[in-house]
Amino acid sequence: MKRNIESFRKGFIDGIPIALGYFAVSFTLGIRGGDVGLKWYQSALMSATNYTSAGQAAALSILEEGGSYIELIISTLIINLRYLLMSAALTIKLSPKENTGMRMLMGIGVTDEIFGISVAQKTPISPVYNIGAMSVACPGWVLGTALGGIMGEILPSVVTSSLSIALYAMFLAIIIPPARENKVVAVLVFLSALLSFLFTKLNFLSGISTGMKVIILTVTLSALAAFFFPIEEDNNLEEEVE
């Protein structure tokens, strides 16, 4: 019991910086939600069920373009597939004694940042640590969206339009560092931008909806990257588990 309390406390403390970052990012998503016609509580509900900035931003774009629910579901599923891999990586670092309920609860809040702090912990990982981080990080995400949506309904449109630019700045902050460190990522970022531009400008492609563009580009570029630039297996992880 004492060990669980300490693990929860450590996870909670480690999750505070993540919560602050989430608040800033989701605040812009709340404003963006208002731009596409969502009420603040609708945007907050979206954040409460979709802990991913990329997936939520794509969903808002699809809603703005009047895309279908099928496009929205498929694109969100594809964008969030990486969390399936992250969850699998975390599972093999858990003790075999952990029950299914704890594993499922832990999986609800697997995000890039929480995954990062979790894999840095000693094996076996305690699910209580993740729950501690989730208990502060996830509410920060939802609260930021709610307040962003509320401010979007109060402030003049010229102000909210300016604040919405922060969302694009966020994506630049996400893609530039790994692109500078990895040439493959840099090439993929360039190709995605180029192909997205062509989808908009070429007549025979411009009629494709935003949702389908996201699906086509994500699947195509991911498949090409996996085929031409496969990642070598990490034997160190297997040794840790053994």
Q: For tokens 């979007």, name the residue.
A: 152
| Mean pLDDT of all residues in 197-209 | 75
Q: How many angstroms separate the Cα of 91 from the Cα of each of 43, 81, 130, 157, 241?
A: 31, 16, 12, 46, 10
Q: How far from the centroid of its chain's Cα atoms is residue 79's Cα?
A: 8
Structurally, how many domains does the chain consist of? 1
| Mean pLDDT of all residues in 173-197 | 79
Report residue 147's pLDDT band, with 50, 70 and 90 as the boundaries: very high
Bridge partners, residue 125, by sequence:
94
Report residue 196's pLDDT band, with 50, 70 and 90 as the boundaries: confident
- The angle formed by the CA atoms of residues 162, 168 and 172, to the nearest 5 degrees, is 140
Q: What is the pLDDT of residues 26-82, one digit of tens each?
A: 888 898 888 888 999 999 999 998 888 878 888 888 888 887 888 888 888 888 888
Cβ partners under 8 Å of residue 27, min gap 6: 144, 145, 147, 148, 151, 163, 166
Nearest CA among 100, 125, 89 for reference residue 237: 89
- Please report the sign of the dihedral spanned by the C-alpha atoms of residue 29, residue 30, residue 35, residue 39: positive
Domain residues for the domain of 173 are 2-241
Tokens for 86, please give them: 């992250």
Q: What is the pLDDT of residues 71-92, one digit of tens each?
A: 888 888 888 888 887 888 888 8
- The angle formed by the CA atoms of residues 17, 121 and 26, to the nearest 5 degrees, is 30
| Mean pLDDT of all residues in 106-130 | 85
- More reliable by pLDDT, 218 or 16: 16
Q: For tokens 């692109």, name the residue.
A: 179
Give CA–CA dist 89/86, Å, rounded: 5
